[in-house]
Amino acid sequence: MYFVVAMVEETVEARVERLVLEYAQTVPEARPLDARLSLQNDLAIESLSLVSLALRLGGEFGVDVVDMGLELGEMKTFGDLVKVARTLKQQPTVSVGERP
C-alpha cells in the first residue's frame, strides 16, 4: 500500500501567523489573524520577543534580516509583519555564514 502526501506550500500569511502565535501572549480566537491587530497591544508581543520573531521570520525565508537593516520600530501590526515577510520572500537567500 502506498500513501501519497501532497506538500502544500504555506502562504506568507500562514507562515507569519504561525510564528506570531508562538510569541503572542494574548491569542484571539478569530483566524486568520486580522491585519490590523497590534503586535504589542492586541497580541502582547514584547519588544525583545519582536526581535526574536523578526530573526525567525528571516530564517523562514533564508534571509539575514540584520544585514537588511530591518526597522523593527515600524512593525506595529500583524499586517506590517506580513508586508515585511513578503519583502523577505523576494530577497536572495543567504547560506549560513555567508555574507552578501
User: 45 near 56, Cβ under 8 Å?
Assistant: no
Fold of 12-90: 1.10.1200
**Chain segment 1-49, per-residue pLDDT in tens:** 555 544 457 899 999 999 999 999 999 898 899 999 999 999 999 999 9
User: 87 near 60, Cβ under 8 Å?
Assistant: no
Residues 76 and 73: their CA atoms lie apart, in Å, by: 7
Hey, where are the domains in the chain?
12-90
pTM score, whole prediction: 0.79
The per-residue pLDDT for 33 is 94
